[in-house]
Amino acid sequence: MEKILFVCHGNICRSVMAQWIFQDLVHQHHLDDQFEIDSAAVSSEETGNRMYPPARRKLTEKGIPFGEHRARRMTHADYDHFDHIYIMDDSNRRLIRRIVHNDPDHKIELLKKDGSSISDPWYTGDFEQAYQDIVQGCKERLDEILSQ
């Protein structure tokens, strides 16, 4: 089983959108029983909050099913548990390293394989661009995992 964790700043927009987008892609490939997928934050400021309403609306608009998720902060135990940890930007990388004390197992990677960041729609308001970038990254990472 492949264990995937998506991480962003607050776990109410990008990482939780990635969680459900990736889950939908896995489902389309009939691989649900081969993946464990979750998301978390590098901060605790949104802990306990639901997905941000505009993020929910974007997933609904695109036909991506989603369930209940409450924002949570990543822990060192998450680092030990998950095989792949996909982050949205370099700020996430700096903050996640404070939690896990570096990345000795080289599990932490930007979601997009080209190394570009996914802008935070909380600040930009551009949920369409975030969605497109997340879909691209999720497809690239799923293809990468399936080819191994």
Q: Which residues are catalytic?
A: 8, 14, 120
DSSP 3-state assignment of 45? Answer: coil
